[in-house]
Amino acid sequence: MDKLPVIAGILLFGLVSIANGDSFYCGNRVVSTGDSKIDVLSKCGPPDVSETVSYDTEGSGSAPGRGGIAEGKESTKKVEKLSYNCGEGRFIRLLTLIDGKLVSIETGGYGSGPEKCN
């Protein structure tokens, strides 16, 4: 059995994932959902713009003492929005982190200045 179609399929899947916003390149490093804030900052450096907000959530009904939140008890989530201007003619990347973990990568409008993201 020829392995070339399997390898081509894996590569194509990787490119589709990057195009769908699950990942993007900062220089020659890939940033992906699931990365920690420390990983993002080490790969991309400081963002051009950042905003931090917190919000309270109600408990999920999990039993206390089992790593869950008791019914009706509130928990605070920290949400950070990081914006990377990738340069002239390139898209701005908008990253959302919840409690220090990258949960989404969105594409904004066109950036300006020197190219920073690939």
pLDDT digits (tens, 9 = 90+) for 26-39: 888 999 999 999 99
Model confidence, pTM:
0.67
What's the CA gap between 107 and 52, in Å, rounded? 19
Give the mean pLDDT of 69-84. 80
Q: What is the mean pLDDT of the chain?
A: 78
**Count of other CB atoms within 10 angstroms of residue 111:** 21
What's the CA gap between 39 and 11, in Å, rounded? 23
Q: Euclidean distance between the first and final Cα of the chain, in Å?
A: 35
Per-residue pLDDT reduced to its tens digit, 6-17? 444 444 344 433
